[in-house]
Amino acid sequence: MGSSEDERGLRKVARVVLLDPRDRILLLHGHEPDDPADDWWFTPGGGLEGAETREEAALRELAEETGITDVDLGPVLWRRRCSFPFAGRRWDQDEWYYLARTARTDIAATGLTELERRTVAGARWWTCRELTRAHETVYPTRLAELLRTLLVEGPPARPVTLDTEIV
């Protein structure tokens, strides 16, 4: 078992709920490598590499996928187990979602992997209202509700475990 997997064989993933000064959340637009019509929106983040911590992975992935490095990484908001098909294989993940804020809203995805370059179509800042009204697929699926709760109540005292999602 590599350090990027936990004792259950799940890929350890750190994701970032990145908010700008207007409380908009940054989401990336992804799709299957060979089917751009099979698309969804998701938070920046990815799997741990080597011996890095989840916090280190969150900051590294955010920098690679957005170019944004000047953030204060906050607490873990949510934890989620998920399983989904992507790029010809099944991914089983244990995801931790960290809160972060930034004053910078311009995006420069300069550190994408080859697979990410083929499957990430862009990024967009969303208001809670826009997310609530969206007809697109968004992961985690309750993100609009989770974001609304976060903006009204602030971060939870301890991470909230979300329902397991199997796609």
Q: What is the three-class DSSP state of 86?
A: strand
CA distance 107 to 113: 16
pLDDT of 3 reads 52
| Residue whose tokens read 């906050």 | 74
Looking at the whole model, is its pTM more than 0.75?
yes
Query: 92 and 79 in contact (C-beta within 8 Å)?
Result: no
pLDDT at residue 30, as a whole number: 87
Spans of the chain, pLDDT less than 50: 1-2
pLDDT digits (tens, 9 = 90+) for 111-145: 767 767 777 878 999 999 999 999 999 999 899 99
Q: What is the mean pLDDT of the chain?
A: 89
3-state secondary structure of 50: coil
Handedness of CA 12, 13, 14, 17 (dihedral sign): negative
